Amino acid sequence: MSLMNKFKPKNQKQRLLISGLDSKDVNIIGIFTPQGTEAKIITLLYCLSTLSDKKYKKFNYVSMHKKDPETITNDLFTIIKNYSQREELCAII
């Protein structure tokens, strides 16, 4: 089951983000949002979902945030807790 199927967008901007990530017409997406919008969690969840579903072999994720290694780790724990089984993510990695 796709990890994205477990996520329910809370507003139109989250739906637009997912639509952009899923679009075949878009190669690069820039996301500029304030904290608390869950954009990073949505993006990481989408990346993991497409890898799990074998839609892509790799996914490049670049962030300009200076504390990103710490926040990405926290976001991955959030994904594991809310959207995935540990074994499912280990199979991707």
Is 53 buried (19+), middle (13-18) or exposed (0-12) by CB count in 10 A? middle
* φ, ψ of residue 12 in degrees (nearest 5): -65, -40
The pTM for the full model equals 0.71
For 24-82, the pLDDT digits (tens) are 898 888 888 877 788 888 888 888 888 888 887 877 777 666 666 666 677 777 777 77
pLDDT given for residue 92 in this prediction: 63
DSSP codes, 48-91 = HHHHHTTS-S--------TTHHHHHHHHHHHHHHHH--HHHHHH
Question: What's the pLDDT at 79?
Answer: 74
pLDDT for residue 67: 61
- Domains in the chain: boundaries: 38-93
Task: Determine the Cα–Cα distance for residues 73 and 25; give it in Å rounded to an integer.
Answer: 30
- Given a cut of 80, is residue 88 above it in pLDDT? no
pLDDT given for residue 19 in this prediction: 93
Write out the two tokens for 67.
């504390």
Q: Give the pLDDT band of residue 1 (cuts 50, 70, 90).
A: very low
